[in-house]
Amino acid sequence: MVTLPRFVAAAAAAALAVSAPSAAAERSIFDDVKLEVTAETHGVEPYPNELVMLRIRGVYRPLVNIAHMIQPSLANFGWTNLTRDINFDAEFDGFPAKGFERTLAIFPEKSGELTIESFTHKLTVVDGNGYRQLDVKSPPIKLKVAEWKGPGGPRDPHQWWLPSSDVRVTDNWSGDPNRVPRGETVRRTVTIEADGVTAEQLPPPPVMRSPGIISFRGPIDRETRVTENGPVARAIYRWDMRPTTAHPAIVEPIDVPWFDTRARTLRKAVIPAQRMAWAAVGPSGEPVAPPAAEKPSALLLSGAGAVAFFAGLGILLLGGGAASGVPALPPRALLALRWAALRRDPAAVRAAVTRLARDEPGPAQRWTADPQVRGALAELDRHLFDAAGAPAPSLSRLSSLVRKARREAIAASRSKASGLAPLDGPYGKA
């Protein structure tokens, strides 16, 4: 016969035996789970807008049926997902478990100590013959963001702030900028790639402006490529460009400042300088290469110099003056005209003709009105200044026409100054 005390003791022991597995299961569900967040700063305090890799890692012993991650608002941070969530086999205190990992790229927006609030992983786990809901939270973490000291930082209004581990600049032209067809444009395409930033962090298109060059900005493309090591940004800028003068012009280089996040120092990427010029055009209107002999031979130059010397010497020996209408010395502009024609320099020929007309205003009124001279000068001006392009005239012929017309103009002014009545002129009335 079982006494009452023995019955009570047996009942208590049975109750303990029934409740023990339940308590152990309760502890397994709630204690054998872990969710941690780690900010990878590599031992340095990042600056604003600098990439920080945020790793969210969880390890769970219970059998997970459904999982859903709730992310905090991440106030004071810009962010983007890098890869898909990863599930893997792991261990928890020596017991088999399941692991979970998510990687975010975050960009602090200001300096100071910023807080990353808790991530919550809502799990549905298997518990005996049923399911239980379980919320696993990560502890909040603090991230110290450094304040930039000196010029060129995130708050500098005169310089773009681009923190990156590497920046690359590529410069391409749709045609040869040294030989632009008359009246046409060539497209310049500049591509900037930067590691560790998004496309919105790349600078706006620079102003492509230089003396003697006109440019029209084209479409802009931006894209962000996501990799395991962080985002890679690309921006493609385009301009349609052409020269505006007859002389070659230089497109000035453009600096792209950036902060090297590895070396922790400011650097500059450069969009290189480029020469631009119109292409030479032949009589048929087709672009031609410059002549092989751009410069006259040494024998030709020495002969021209000798001719100029003896011409000047002859004028000195023969004399001259105001009474004769001939200058005592040949104008320097006349010698410059011959020299420029021998060098085949159209711009120098035009400058010499202009100077000659300015130095001798009297005779110039006559020889500049000569139809042949005016026609040859019009051809030269079309070649130099017409955007549509015109072939270069014969510079030696132009020089000869100007010199001949000038001699006739001087002779005519000398005859007019004579006090004798013209022998073949009209008779006066008696």
- Indicate whether 271 and 351 sit together in one domain: no
pLDDT of 363 reads: 83
Give the end of a domain, one of 145, 171, 201.
145
Please tell me which of 28-32, 160-164, 275-279, 415-419 the model is most confident about, judged by mean pLDDT.
Answer: 160-164
- Indicate whether 247 and 323 sit together in one domain: no
How many domains does the chain divide into?
3
Residue 26: band (very low, low, confident or very high) from pLDDT cuts 50, 70, 90? very low
* Amino acid in position 211: P
Question: CA-CA distance, 39 to 159, in Å (whole number)?
Answer: 28
> What is the bridge-based pairing of β-strands 254-260 and 163-164?
parallel
- Whether 291 is covered by a domain: the verdict is no
Q: Tens digits of per-residue pLDDT, 239-297?
A: 999 998 888 899 999 999 999 999 999 999 999 999 999 987 544 545 554 444 344 55
Look at the block and give the residue holding tokens 């014969």. 394
Q: 157: which 2 tokens?
A: 């209004």
- Whether 285 is covered by a domain: the verdict is no
pLDDT of 179 reads: 94
Question: CA-CA distance, 346 to 390, in Å (whole number)?
Answer: 12
Model confidence pTM above 0.75: no
* CA distances to 1, 7, 22, 24, 27 from 13, in Å: 19, 10, 15, 17, 21
Neighbour tally for 304: CB within 10 Å: 17
Q: Tens digits of per-residue pLDDT, 412-427?
A: 876 554 444 444 444 3
pLDDT of 342 reads: 84
Overall average pLDDT of the 214-234 stretch: 94
Is-contact 100 138, C-beta < 8 A? no
- Indicate whether 330 and 412 sit together in one domain: yes
Residue 216: band (very low, low, confident or very high) from pLDDT cuts 50, 70, 90? very high
- Indicate whether 193 and 132 sit together in one domain: no
Dihedral of alpha carbons 35, 41, 43, 46, sign: negative
Look at the block and give the residue holding tokens 């006349």. 334
Q: 140: which 2 tokens?
A: 């909040």
Question: CA-CA distance, 279 to 288, in Å (whole number)?
Answer: 7
- Indicate whether 327 and 223 sit together in one domain: no
- Whether 11 is covered by a domain: the verdict is no
- Whether 2 is covered by a domain: the verdict is no
Is-contact 58 88, C-beta < 8 A? no
Closest CA to 246 of 381, 375, 338, 397: 381
Contacts of 356 (CB under 8 A, 6+ apart): 331, 333, 334, 337, 364, 402, 406
